[in-house]
């Protein structure tokens, strides 16, 4: 539907590791190519680009579709040929790493941009991609969106789809945090090798990797060990990965180069050395390299000493251990959003900044602005949250202790009342309170009246209602949406109502009872008729 619609698609597909996001991308690419457009497929690492390339070539083998790859696995000659093909339109799909974003790449007719593992690209790269595409459909795939993207999706600035169902016969990955020791390593690796599987051993320090390899050879004479890291020559890295897929090695000693998207169904145990050094999304991604078929998979997170971890590291390891079940990437990203803040909508910061105003207020301000723009008016930046009407009835308005004892409940009711937008919402809250705690005491009745008045008077542009027993003042904002004639009629008919200044009505009448004062304000507002809708200002295109 998105691709057919006239406006460009910008959809974020959030599915857990191994849930088939690539499959969605392949279908989208097929739609674009059959529609005569080119597809750019952007991957964060060479290994992943290579793998997508193989998949695409296999899947499109029966169709007249030309696929090219641009990464350091390709010679300069091949890359030049690919560039030429992209610009003259003979290449339909191009898969590549950041090389795709270089100035030299000119597309003849780009229709779809697929970004895999979006959290691995910085905001600048994403902006560079936006330059590629004023009119291009964009499909972003990720298991653990960065806070900024997730924030934008939740605020309705981007479309979000979640793939929540695991493929059939898929099992959750069993995760253990252990102190690092030869016994644990040997047991973990042998258990996997004995059932004919393969193991990833993650050691993220290239300098000491050779030492680790020798140690592993001593500890595990049964294993055929291959090594893979980003500083190896391209051809060798390609060869090692091909051999690992073909099962010539059964233990791959590697750096985090395998983090994204590598799919080897027979590898079902991953051992991570110094797991306390990785971030949440990274741990989740790395763990997702195993358990990609119907075998039970195991992830061992090894740390030097469980007691000596920093607070944040142990929080991360706890989170990853608790989030074992399938489909937890989205929840992990939510944790991340809570820990680090939502970043900027228009700036480069991917996290932070939200704590200055608090999450609730930030979201309200943003949704006000988004709502205004969608309705075609310019958001009012000077009073961003059409400031709530201030209502003072000169009487205590609260839920008393002896009526509702639990502090948390009281706070939650106050919050719900304060955020109610219509009288119906206030009424249903009133029902709930009465239902739970019995008949309202006078203070609680006043509280409900305050919020009813607030909701009633907001459309009239009322800023403040000050209702004292002897005199009531109703203040309006400049240019309120009320017909001036109505106000003049009201003052002419009622001797006790006067205009005090430009924006204030003054009602001089002694009303000792709170409910009479509330009724008076309501009658006056009702007498002003229906609020006039302001004409929507047309935004410049």
**∠ CA 83-87-88, rounded to 5°:** 115
Distance between CA 262 and CA 55 in Å, rounded?
Answer: 12
Nearest partner of 291 among 319, 270, 272, judged by Cα: 270
Tell me what pLDDT residue 154 has: 61
Listed in sequence order, the residues at least 6 apart from 54 whose beta carbon sits closer than 8 Å to its beta carbon are none
- The pLDDT of residue 359: 58
User: Which residues, at least 6 apart from 446, have a Cβ–Cβ distance to it below 8 Å?
Assistant: 393, 395, 396, 397, 514
Backbone torsions φ then ψ of 307, nearest 5 degrees: -70, -30
Quick one: DSSP state of residue 349?
-
Per-residue pLDDT of the chain (541 residues; tens, 9 = 90+): 777 777 777 787 877 666 777 888 888 888 888 888 888 888 877 777 878 888 888 888 888 878 888 877 777 888 888 888 878 878 888 888 877 777 677 777 777 888 887 666 766 776 666 666 567 778 888 776 666 666 666 666 667 777 767 667 677 778 888 888 888 888 888 888 888 888 888 888 888 888 888 888 888 888 888 888 878 887 787 788 888 888 888 888 888 777 665 667 788 888 888 877 777 777 777 777 777 777 788 888 888 877 777 777 777 777 777 766 655 655 666 655 555 555 555 555 545 555 555 556 666 777 777 777 777 777 766 665 555 678 888 888 888 888 887 777 888 888 888 888 888 989 998 998 899 888 888 888 888 888 888 888 888 888 888 888 888 888 888 778 888 888 888 888 888 888 887 788 888 888 888 888 888 888 888 888 777 665 444 444 4
Residues 6+ apart with CB under 8 A from 158: 10, 11, 12, 149, 152
Q: What is the 3-state secondary structure (H, E, C) of 490-522?
A: HHHHCCCEEECCCCEEEEECCCCCHHHHHHHHH
Q: How many CA atoms lie within 13 A of 486 on its CB side?
A: 15
**What's the confidence (pLDDT) of residue 537?**
42
Question: Would you say 107 and 86 are in contact if contact means Cβ atoms under 8 Å apart?
Answer: yes
Q: Which residues share a beta bridge with 116?
A: 141
Please report the beta strands in 117-168, taking only residues with DSSP state E, as ranges in sequence order: 137-142, 159-163
> Is residue 256 within 8 Å of 286, Cβ to Cβ?
yes
Question: Which helix (DSSP H) or strand (DSSP E) does residue 464 occupy?
Answer: strand 462-467
Whole-number pLDDT of residue 503? 80
Give me 203's structure tokens: 């050691």
Helix (H, G, I), strand (E, B) or coil at 357: coil
Neighbouring residues of 121: CB distance < 8 A, sequence distance ≥ 6: 42, 44, 115, 129
How many whole angstroms separate alpha carbon 71 and alpha carbon 50? Answer: 8
Helix (H, G, I), strand (E, B) or coil at 58: helix
The set of long-range contacts for 348-352, using a CB threshold of 8 Å and a minimum separation of 24, is: 348/122, 348/123, 348/124, 349/123, 349/148, 350/122, 350/123, 350/146, 350/147, 350/148, 351/146, 351/147, 351/148
The closest alpha carbon to 48, from 79, 10, 17, 78, belongs to: 17
Residues shown for the chain: 541
Largest separation between any pair of C-alpha atoms in the chain: 102
CA-to-CA separations, 417 to 26, 107, 144, 371, 466, in angstroms, rounded: 48, 55, 35, 22, 20
């Amino acid at each position: 539907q998105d691709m057919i619609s006239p406006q460009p698609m910008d959809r974020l597909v959030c599915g857990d590791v191994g849930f088939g996001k690539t499959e969605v991308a392949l279908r989208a690419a097929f739609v674009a190519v059959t529609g005569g457009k080119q597809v750019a497929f952007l991957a964060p690492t060479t290994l992943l680009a290579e793998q997508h390339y193989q998949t695409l070539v296999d899947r499109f083998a029966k169709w007249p579709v030309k696929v090219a790859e641009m990464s350091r696995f390709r010679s300069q000659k091949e890359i030049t040929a690919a560039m030429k093909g992209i610009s003259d339109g003979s290449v339909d799909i191009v898969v590549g790493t950041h090389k795709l974003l270089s100035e030299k790449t000119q597309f003849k007719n780009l229709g779809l941009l697929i970004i895999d593992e979006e959290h691995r690209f910085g905001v600048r790269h994403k902006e560079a991609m936006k330059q590629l595409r004023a009119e291009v459909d964009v499909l972003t795939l990720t298991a653990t969106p960065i806070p900024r993207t997730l924030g934008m999706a939740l605020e309705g600035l981007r479309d979000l789809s979640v793939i929540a169902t695991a493929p059939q016969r898929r099992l959750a990955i069993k995760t253990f945090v252990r102190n690092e020791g030869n016994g644990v390593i040997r047991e973990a690796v042998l258990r996997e090798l004995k059932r004919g599987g393969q193991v990833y051993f993650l050691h993220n320090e290239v300098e000491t990797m050779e030492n680790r390899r020798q140690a592993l050879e001593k500890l595990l004479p049964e294993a055929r060990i291959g090594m893979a890291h980003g500083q190896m020559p391209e051809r060798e890295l390609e060869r090692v990965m091909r051999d690992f897929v073909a099962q010539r090695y059964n233990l791959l000693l590697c750096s985090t180069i395998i983090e994204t998207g590598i799919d080897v169904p027979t590898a079902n145990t991953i051992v991570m050395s110094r797991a306390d050094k990785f971030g949440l999304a990274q741990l989740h991604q790395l763990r997702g390299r195993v358990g990609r078929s119907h075998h039970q998979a195991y992830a061992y997170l090894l740390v030097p000493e469980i007691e000596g971890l920093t607070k944040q590291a142990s929080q991360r390891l706890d989170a990853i251990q608790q989030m074992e079940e399938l489909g937890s990437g989205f929840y992990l990203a939510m944790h991340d959003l809570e820990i680090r803040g939502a970043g900027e909508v228009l700036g480069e910061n991917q996290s932070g900044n939200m704590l200055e105003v608090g999450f609730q207020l930030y979201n309200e301000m943003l949704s006000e602005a988004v709502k205004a723009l969608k309705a075609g008016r310019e958001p009012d930046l000077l009073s961003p949250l059409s400031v709530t009407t201030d209502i003072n009835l000169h009487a205590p308005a609260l839920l008393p202790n002896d009526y509702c004892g639990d502090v948390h409940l009281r706070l939650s009711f106050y919050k719900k009342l304060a955020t109610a937008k219509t009288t119906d919402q206030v009424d249903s809250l009133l029902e709930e309170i009465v239902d739970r705690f019995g008949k309202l005491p006078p203070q609680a009745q006043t509280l409900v009246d305050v919020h009813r008045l607030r909701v009633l008077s907001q459309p009239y542009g009322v800023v403040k209602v000050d209702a004292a027993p002897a005199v009531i003042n109703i203040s309006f904002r400049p240019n309120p949406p009320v017909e001036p004639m109505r106000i003049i009629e009201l003052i002419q008919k009622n001797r006790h109502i006067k205009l005090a200044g430009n924006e204030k009505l003054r009602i001089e009448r002694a009303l000792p009872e709170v409910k009479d004062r509330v009724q008076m304000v309501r009658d006056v507002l009702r007498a002003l008729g229906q609020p006039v809708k302001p004409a929507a200002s047309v935004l410049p295109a």
